[in-house]
């Protein structure tokens, strides 16, 4: 993220940069780790710790140039994910999804998709063009949000993660097996 610190900031005020500098960057769990294929448990504690976790998840996601990150991808079996399809360009586009569920889906769109836990591999996945989801933010407040195209895709992809489902499970068996074989080879070579 660009450094926006300027001399116009009052010196006593805690600059946002101080906060982001303190963020923990999690390493992202890769395909093959069983945590990615297990369901998660509901978020019940909406406290400062959860707020910190979700901010750290945003920072980790931006560091990896992703547009979504789910807790299992940092090794936590918790029903929370973060999404920002602007990649950090617009602070208002940051969406915390605690306990999300799809309440409406419409249309179909087939687009190429990837995953931070399966780096280097992409595949075409059929997803709804529009989805409305209901979730809670980091404070526990319920909200509904409608997403279209990439945002709808990100919502579905992240909710899948929270159910232990990866995008390769939506591919044909042939394509999925090909990716799995390549990953197996990479792992043997110590490159995964």
Closest CA to 54 of 102, 94, 111, 3: 94
- Compose the 57-96 pattern: x for residues touching Zn ion by CB under 5 A, - for all others: ----------------------------------------
Tokens (6 digits) for 95:
């969406």
| Cβ distance to Zn ion smaller for residue 83 or 115 | 115
Q: Are 105 and 145 in contact (CB under 8 A)?
A: no
Q: What are the E-state strand segments in 61-164?
A: 68-70, 80-83, 95-106, 109-113, 123-127, 130-136, 142-148
Find the part of the chain contacting Zn ion (CB under 5 A) among 43-51, 95-103, 108-116, 123-131: 108-116
Query: 134 to 173, contacts with Zn ion by CB under 5 A?
Result: none
* DSSP state for residue 9 in the 8-state scheme: S
Report in angstroms how near the CB of residue 4 gets to Zn ion at its nearest: 29
| Cβ distance to Zn ion smaller for residue 115 or 152 | 115
Asked if 131 is part of the footprint of Zn ion (rule: CB under 5 A), the reply reads: no
**What is the spatial distance between Cα 155 and Cα 99, in angstroms, rounded to a whole number?**
12
Report in angstroms how near the CB of residue 45 gets to Zn ion at its nearest: 24
Report in angstroms how near the CB of residue 2 gets to Zn ion at its nearest: 26
Given 92, 141, 158, 191, the catalytic residue:
158
Asked if 115 is part of the footprint of Zn ion (rule: CB under 5 A), the reply reads: yes
* 2: CB partners within 8 A, 6+ apart: none
Find the part of the chain contacting Zn ion (CB under 5 A) among 77-85, 115-123, 132-140, 182-190: 115-123
What residues form DSSP beta bridges with 124?
Answer: 112
Is 158 among the catalytic positions? yes
Active site amino acids: 158
């Amino acid at each position: 993220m660009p450094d926006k610190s300027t001399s116009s900031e009052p010196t006593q005020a805690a600059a946002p940069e101080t906060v982001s500098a303190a963020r923990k960057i999690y390493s992202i769990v890769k395909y093959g780790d069983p945590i990615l294929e297990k369901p998660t448990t509901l978020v019940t504690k909406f406290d400062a710790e959860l707020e910190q976790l979700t901010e750290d998840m945003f920072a980790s996601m931006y560091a990896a140039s992703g547009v979504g990150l789910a807790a299992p991808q940092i090794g936590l079996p918790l029903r929370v994910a973060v999404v920002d399809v602007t990649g950090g360009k617009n602070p208002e586009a940051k969406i915390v999804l605690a306990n999300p569920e799809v309440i409406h889906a419409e249309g179909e769109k087939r687009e190429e998709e990837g995953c931070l836990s399966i780096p280097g591999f992409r595949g075409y996945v059929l997803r709804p063009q529009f989805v409305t989801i209901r979730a809670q933010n980091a404070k526990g407040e319920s909200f509904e949000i409608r997403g279209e195209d990439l945002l709808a895709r990100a919502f579905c992809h992240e909710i899948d993660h929270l159910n232990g489902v990866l995008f390769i499970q939506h591919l044909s068996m042939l394509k999925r097996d090909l990716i799995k074989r390549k990953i197996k080879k990479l792992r043997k070579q110590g490159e995964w």
